[in-house]
């Protein structure tokens, strides 16, 4: 703005003189109140040309015209010199202003460059964070799939162990029931063995009595007691044989007594056989009870081991379920972190794009200012040269006026 004012001021100085190159120039040609100012270099060159023209015209006027015309031409040369000096000052101020703007632009470019580097580092960090979040999501997804597989295997193993445990408990219950049955059977067999022993004793006693009665006429009587089915029958037959033998001893012949004695012996042997069978049954039951107790002990130990295995499988299933739950929660958080990281990266990328655009604009502005400074320096140099010439022409015109005045003064003195 200041340069523009200087240019207008210079133009107005020339317009006040009203003469460009010794001729009147209409105001419409370049002296309008509201017109665009000419370039300072052009003004300075024109001023130099006008000063030179004024000098030449002054020399010609010194020979052909009056002293007044020479003085007017000298004044115009001085005005043109002042206009050139004003244009030179404007150019110098323009150069200084451009230098100042270039310094400020360089500072802005440096600041933007530093800010851009920081933003680029932040963007790289955000990109790395996105990659890490994506890797974490991928890793957790794989871990979750493995954990879900482990959970399924643990559940299947737990179900299998539980089924085995149920079967083992059923076998244990069956073995316990069988043992109780065998113990009850043993109690019954022991009771029958005891009664069978008593019946066999009585049968043997009756058989001995019958044998004795074969040789004795008198046979005493013996009491009857209950025994097992076979022993009781043998005892009854022996008793009947004994009674018949006694009766036969009184009424029948010796032969009949012998036959009855044989029946008593057979009955006694049958009782002994029944006793032996009962003893074998008791022994067999005792053996089966021992085997059943051993089976129960083995099944009990196996059941305890299976229960421990079932507890371990249940614990493993719970741990697998807890791991799946933890990984599911972690994966959800990782997805959230990934989304936040992507959003942050996109925001930083947008800022980075805007910052790069600002950086390009600042760099472009700096280049424009540098080019303007080069042009302004060139114009300043040409303006300096034009101003020097204008000042030289003005001084020369002034000296010519002074010389002319001295000549006139000398002539006037001589005439007097």
Residue 72 is predicted with a pLDDT of 74
> Exposed (0-12), middle (13-18) or buried (19+): which is 260, by Cβ within 10 Å?
buried
Residue 319 is predicted with a pLDDT of 94
Residue 223 is predicted with a pLDDT of 33
SS (H, E, C) 137-196: HHHHHHHHHHHHHHHHHHHHHHHHHHHHHHHHHHHHHHHHHHHHHHHHHHHHHHHHHHHH
Please answer whether residues 51 and 14 qualify as being in contact, where contact means their C-beta atoms are separated by less than 8 angstroms.
Answer: no
Residue 96 is predicted with a pLDDT of 92
**Which residues does residue 24 pair with via DSSP β-bridges, in sequence order?**
19
Residue 6 is predicted with a pLDDT of 33
Which residue in 66, 44, 85 sits closest to 404, CA to CA? 66
Residue 237 is predicted with a pLDDT of 64
Residue 403 is predicted with a pLDDT of 79
| Weakly modelled stretches of the chain, pLDDT under 70 | 1-41, 43-44, 47-48, 51-52, 54-70, 210-261, 415-416
Residue 335 is predicted with a pLDDT of 95
Cα separations in angstroms, 347 against 265, 351, 353: 120, 6, 10
């Amino acid at each position: 703005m200041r340069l523009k004012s200087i240019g207008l001021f210079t133009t107005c100085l020339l317009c006040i003189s009203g003469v460009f190159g010794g001729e009147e120039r209409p105001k419409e040609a370049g002296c309008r109140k509201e017109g665009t100012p000419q370039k300072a270099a052009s003004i300075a060159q024109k001023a130099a040309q006008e000063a030179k023209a004024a000098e030449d015209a002054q020399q010609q006027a010194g020979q052909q015209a009056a002293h007044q015309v020479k003085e007017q031409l000298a004044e115009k040369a001085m005005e043109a010199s002042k206009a050139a000096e004003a244009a030179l000052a404007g150019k110098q101020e323009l150069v200084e202003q451009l230098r100042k703007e270039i310094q400020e632009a360089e500072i802005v470019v440096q600041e933007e460059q530093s800010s851009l580097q920081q933003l680029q580092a932040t963007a790289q960090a955000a990109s790395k964070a996105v990659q890490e979040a994506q890797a974490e999501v991928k890793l957790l997804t794989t871990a979750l799939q493995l954990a879900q597989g482990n959970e399924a295997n643990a559940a299947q193993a737990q179900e299998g162990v539980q089924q085995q445990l149920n079967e083992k408990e059923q076998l244990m219950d069956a073995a316990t029931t069988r043992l109780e049955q065998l113990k009850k059977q043993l109690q019954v067999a022991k009771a029958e063995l005891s009664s069978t022993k008593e019946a066999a004793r009585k049968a043997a006693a009756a058989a001995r009595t019958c044998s004795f009665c074969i040789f004795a006429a008198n046979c005493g009587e013996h009491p009857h007691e209950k025994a097992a089915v076979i022993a009781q029958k043998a005892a009854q037959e022996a008793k009947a044989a004994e009674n018949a033998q006694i009766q036969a001893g009184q009424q029948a012949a010796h032969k009949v007594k012998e036959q009855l004695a044989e029946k008593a012996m057979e009955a006694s042997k049958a009782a002994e056989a029944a006793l032996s069978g009962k003893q074998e049954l008791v022994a067999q039951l005792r053996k089966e009870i021992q085997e059943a107790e051993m089976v129960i002990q083995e099944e009990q130990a196996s059941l305890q081991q299976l229960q421990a295995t079932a507890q371990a499988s249940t614990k493993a299933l719970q741990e697998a379920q807890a791991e799946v739950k933890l990984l599911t929660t972690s994966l959800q958080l990782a997805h959230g972190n990934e989304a936040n990281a992507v959003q942050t990266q996109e925001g930083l990328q947008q800022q980075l794009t805007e910052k790069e655009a600002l950086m390009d604009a600042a760099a472009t502005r700096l280049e424009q200012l540098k080019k303007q400074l080069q042009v302004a320096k060139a114009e300043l140099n040409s303006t300096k040269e034009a101003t020097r010439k204008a000042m030289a022409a003005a001084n020369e015109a002034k000296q010519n006026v002074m010389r002319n005045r001295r000549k006139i003064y000398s002539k006037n003195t001589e005439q007097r």
